[in-house]
Amino acid sequence: MEDRKGAPAARTPKTVLLGVTGCIAAYKSCEIVRGLQKRGYRVKVMMTEHAAEFVGPVTFRSLTHEEVSIGLFDHPSDPIHHISLAEEADLILLAPLTANVMAKMACGIADDLFTTTLLAATCPVLIAPAMNVHMWQAAATQENLARLRNRGVAVVEPATGHLACGYDGQGKLAAVEDIVERACEMLEEESLLAGRRVLVTAGPTHEPIDAVRYIANRSSGKMGYALARAARLMGAEVTLVSGPSALSDPQGVRTVRVTTAQEMLAAAEDAFATADLAICAAAVADYTPAHPAGHKLKKTEEHLDHVELVETTDILRRLSEYKGRRIVVGFAAETDNVVSYARDKLARKGCDAIVANDVSAADSTFGSDTNRIRWITADVEKDFPLMSKDRTARAILHEAAALLARTA
């Protein structure tokens, strides 16, 4: 679009709705406003009533040149203000976020402007909690945090250090520059996979020996679930095919629960029929009992000392055989010779890329919350540092999106 003088019209900046709650770190929200503005974003502020005890709304009005929203009925000209606020935002950033408001979010409580706006929001949400170290470590807080992550809420975790309450530990608001950077990443990533269909496999498979015993592995599904959440936040339509896992279905993701390798193969092939990208993060059993019993075998009577095994179908190789111009990414979880084994797997399977990681390391093994990976293609090797599995998932998807772009 051009203006009347023929010059290109200024691009409308995206809007960040910054939510400030009642915490001593609320003064740092002013710096967050300035950081976002310097990156070219429009910022509006909503506050809880308790937040206004720490920083006055006049301060935010002066910084943003926008009205500051506090009370549910403060805007008589807009009788449904919590809806219009939610619809106006491209991203909602809550910094600092108290344990109390986090708990309300997790439970879906909507008893003021702040929480009703959050419940009405359909845009991405990023939270930066801040609180006393014991409040942060409390089981209730960690359960609430896990619930929010599962719904796709992004998190900048508190930093560790000396807290305003006098304690030392994790709980202080993360560095302003880290919060601003993560917000900007989300605003830039939200359309990275728009219009794409993504298949993710996750977790272990259970191969039955009899009615109560099975062959399995230590996979928790955390990496695959993080990939599914991240792909959805990047605009993709996501199908997650999950083996047995204690994790809850990610919100906004079509989740297909399976048990065996054969069931995972069928579900993966069905989803791959319309997918643009498949990421095979599941740890699928290589073998399955040839003759599983329908009852519990008795070890003294029915020869449990010998179980005949047959190979399962290789899902990664099967999808790669008929992928065409679609992209298929596999995982190589190794304990030694990680790179050489991963490169061999890339060649044997025929996929486009392998994500290699050393599962003998405590910080990147099955069930850990962090990962250290190497991205490997036919002509590229790229190492990534130790990161949370959510950040690892985003790094993988950035690389996969680049491969997709080449096929467009």
Catalytic positions, please? Answer: 165
CA gap 59, 27 in Å, rounded: 10
Kindly report whether the peptide bond that precedes residue 96 is cis, defined as omega within 30 degrees of 0. yes
CA atoms of 355 and 337, how far apart (whole Å): 14
CA distance 288 to 291: 9
Q: Per the structure block, which two tokens stand in for 166? A: 């006098």
Integer Cα distance of 228 and 239 in angstroms: 8
Phi/psi-derived region of residue 235, left when phi > 0, alpha when psi is between -120 and 50, beta in every other case = left
> Residue 54: which residues within 8 A CB-CB, separation 6 or more?
22, 23, 24, 26, 27
3-state SS class at 320 = helix
* First CA to last CA distance, the chain: 26
Tokens encoding 284: 């699928």
Identity at 160, one-letter amino acid code: T
Q: How far apart are CA 282 and CA 261, in angstroms?
A: 10
The whole-angstrom separation of Cα 211 and Cα 223 is 29
CA 360 → CA 115, 365, 371, 372, distances in Å? 43, 6, 12, 11
- Strand 154-155 with 125-129, pairing: parallel
DSSP assignment of 183-206, as one string?
HHHHHHHTTTTTT-EEEEEESB--
Distances, alpha carbon 17 to alpha carbons 35, 62, 313, in Å: 14, 16, 49
Cα(54)–Cα(207) distance, integer angstroms = 57
Select from 233, 321, 238 the least CA-distant residue to 279. 238
User: CA angle 15-17-20, nearest 5°?
Assistant: 155
Q: For the chain, what's the residue count?
A: 408
